[in-house]
Structure 1
Amino acid sequence: MSQGQPRLHVQLAVSAGSALRNAFTREAVLEAADGHPGVLDGVSLGFSDTGPALEAALPGADILVLTGQAGLAGLALRAPRLRWLHHTSAGVEWLLRESLPPELLLTNASGTHSPKTAEFALLCALMLSNNMPALFTAQRAHRWDPRPSPTVAGRTALVLGLGGLGGAAAAALEAAGLTVIGVSRSGRPHPAVAESHPIAELPALLPRADILLITLPLTAETRNLIGARELDLMPRGSGVVNIGRGPLLDHDALAARLRDGRLGGAVLDALPDEPLPGDSPLWDVPNLIITPHCGLYDPTAYARRCLDGFFANLRRFKAGAPLQQLVDPARGY
C-alpha cells in the first residue's frame, strides 16, 4: 500500500451464538497475523460481536471477517465501503440468500477441514464395514448379535462431491485400499479416485457402491439429491455417510431402509435440523450413528488454518491479485 493511501479497515465480528466463538478471539487473530510478516502494514483491525458494535463499525469497514451469522440485509447502504466479506465456515448458503451487493467479493473456509475430513471419512467407512451401527443398536437393546466382517480393503466407495471435503475423503479411502468412484458437477478426473463421473451418471453408479459418502454443498441443484429412488439403487446391506449438508438427503427414506434392513448402516454428521430436536425420530432409528456436526472440526487447528488462509488472501487483496476460496454465487459455493 503506497504512502498516503487510506488504511484498509478489517472488521472481525464473532456471533455470540457461534460454536466457534472461543476459537476466533482477538489473541488468536493477532497470533495468526504474526505468522504473515507485513500483512497488517496499512491495515487497521476492529473486533466486535455481531450486534450494535458491528453496526457502528460497518460504515468504515473495507473488509468484514464474520464468524457465525449476522443480519446482513441492506449491506450496501450499511457498509458503503465494504469490498470483501470472508466467512470463517465453508457453508455460505445462508449468505447467498442475503442479497449481498453483486460486486462484493465473498470467500469462505473451504478446504480448511481437509485433514480432519480425511480421518473422519475413513473412520466412518471402517465403522460401516465393521457393522458398528448394527452392533451399537444391539448393545442398546442388550442383545448379543455377533456380526463378523472382512477388511475394508477391496470395497467400493462412491464419493459424491470432489471439492475440499470429498477430495480429502477420497484420498484417505483410496489409501486404505478401497476402490473410489468420484461423482462431481463437472466429472473432471481427480487423482484420488479410480473413476470420475458427472452427477448425471449417479443412478448407474449407485448399484456399485458399498458406501455412499455425501460431501456436496447445498444448492438448488443438490437439495434432496439422494432420495428413495437413489437409496433403492444401492446394494442391499450397503451404507451411507453424510458429511455435507442435511437437506441433500431424504432422511425419512433413509430411516425406512435402515429399519427394514435394505441398508446396513449410516453415519450422519449433517442433519436436517441442527441442533437435531430431542423429539426427532432419527434418534431412535436402528443402525444409525449420529454425530452432531462435529466430525470435521479440529478444535486445535481449525481457527489457525482458517486465519492463515484469510491473511494469505489479505496479502493478495492488497496486491490486487485474485483471491482463493472465492465463492461463485451462480454455483452456490
Structure 2
Amino acid sequence: MAKVAASTIKLPGEGKELLAKYAKVYELADVGEAELPNILSRVNVLLCWCGGEFNLTKWIRAMPNLEVIQTFSAGVDHLPYAQIPSNIRIFSNAGAYSLPVAEHAWSLILTLAKGVHSRLMDRDRYLNDPAYSPRQLTGKSLLVLGTGGIGTEVARIGKAAFNMSTIGVNRSGRPATYFDETYPVSRLRDVLPRANVMVIALPLTKHTRGLIGEAELNLLPEDAIVVNVARGDIVKEDDLYRVLTARRGLRYGTDVFWDYGSGESLNPRTSLLNLPNFLGTPHIAGGAQPEVARRAVLMAVENAVRYLRGESPLNEVDRGDYV
C-alpha cells in the first residue's frame, strides 16, 4: 500500500510532484474540516513548521499511522515532544538557511564594528564613543558557537574576507571545516577572552538554554562584538542587559529574541532596545525571504523523499536534547 504524506502548507509545484512519486500527497491547507480526521488517520509522513499553521498538539492523536515528522524549520525546539509518541522519527531542516543567516550575521557584525548603527552626526562624538567608534575586523579572532551549517559559513566568510583566526565551539570539540581550532562547550569559558567577535549559531536545547550569562559575557574582551542568529533564550536577557549597561564598549546584535511562553516576543522585558550598544532585527535572517523559504521547503521535501525511498534521511533529531 502506498504511503501517505501530508504537508501543512501548500508546496511548490516541483516539490509536490517529487513527493507524489513516492506517496499520496495531501496539502492540509486545502482539506476541509470534515474530511481532515479521515486523512490524518492515514498519514505516514508529515511535513510541517514547528508551530503556527497547524496544531500538532491537537491532531497528533488523530495520526495513528504517523511514522515521520519532517520540519520545514531548522530549529525544532518548539515541537510538542511530550505529545509525540516515541516511535515517531523526527527530522529537522538543518542547513536549509545557512547561507542567508550567515550573511545576516555578517551584516550585523559589520554594522556594529563600524558603528553604522549610530545616528550621531558629530564626528568627534562618533569616533570617541565606545558604543559606536569604528573597529577593524581584519586579522582579529572570531569565535563561533556551533559548527553546523550556519557556523561553518560564518567562519568561511571570516577567513576569506577578513583573514580572521577562527575558533569553533561544539558539543564534542570535534574538528570542523574553516575552523583553526575547535573546543567542546565545556571549554567555552577558556576561549571567551580571546574573542574579538563571537557569533552564536547553536540550536536551542535543554543543554544550551541560558548558556550565555553575565559570567560568560564578562569574560569577553572590553570591545568585543557578539551576534546571535540562533535563539534568544541561549542568552540570559537580564544578564545581557546588565552587562551592556555597565560595559558600553561591548556591542550586541541579534536577529532572535526571547520566548516568554507564548512564542518569540520582539519586545524584550528589559530596555535593551534603548541601549546604544544593542542592535536588533525582527527575525528576518532565514525564511522571511520568499526565495529562501521556497528552497528550504524543497530541501525538506527531498529529505522526506529519502525516507520514502528507503534511504537514510538527514538531520534526525535526538529527543534527549529537548526532553
Cα RMSD over matched residues?
2.6
Q: Indicate whether 1:257 and 2:237 are aligned.
A: no
Q: Which shows bigger deviation, 75-84 or 177-186?
A: 75-84
**Which of the residues 177, 200, 203 maps onto 2:186?**
200
Secondary structure of 2:4's partner?
A: strand
1:114 and 1:165 in contact (8 A); partners too: yes
What's the TM-score once normalised by structure 1's chain length?
0.84
Query: Could you give the per-residue CA deviations for residues 253-272 of structure 1, whole angstroms, max 9, x where no partner exists?
Result: 22222223354311011111
TM alignment of 1:170-319, pairs within 5 A: 170-176=155-161, 177-261=163-247, 263-273=249-259, 274-277=264-267, 280-297=270-287, 299-319=289-309
Q: Unmatched 5+ residue regions in structure 1?
A: 1-5, 15-24
> For 2:270 and 2:214, how far apart are their aligned partners in 1?
20
Task: Please give the alpha-carbon distance, in whole angstroms, between the structure 2 residues aligned to 1:51 and 1:225.
Answer: 44
Question: Percent same amino acid at aligned positions?
Answer: 29
Is the CA contact (8 Å cut-off) linking 2:45 and 2:304 kept in structure 1?
no
Shift in CA distance, 149/106, structure 1 to aligned 2, threshold 3 Å: same
Deviation at 1:143, TM superposition (A): 9.1
Question: Does structure 2 retain, via aligned residues, the 8 Å contact 1:82–1:104?
Answer: yes
Name the counterpart of 1:125. 109
1:46 CA drift (Å): 1.0
For residues 42-73 of structure 1, the C-alpha deviation after alignment (integer angstroms, 9 at most, x for no partner) is 52211124994654531111111113514334
User: What displacement does 1:296 show?
Assistant: 2.9
| Aligned CA distance change for structure 1 residues 298 and 169 (closer, same or farther; 3 Å) | farther
Other-structure match for 2:93: 109
Read off the aligned partner of 2:150 and give its amino acid letter: L
TM-score (structure 2 length as normaliser): 0.86
Report the count of equivalent residues.
309
Partner of 1:48: 28
Pair 1:248–1:51, CA change in 2 (3 A): farther
Report the alpha carbon displacement of residue 150 of structure 1 after superposing the two structures with TM.
4.7
After superposition, give the CA deviation of every residue in 1:87-128 in whole Å (9 maximum; x if it has no partner): 111121121533311111111211011111221122222123
Gaps of 5+ in 2: 128-132
The one-letter code sitting in structure 1 at the alignment partner of 2:286 is L
Aligned to 2:14: 31
How far off its partner does 1:295 sit? 2.0
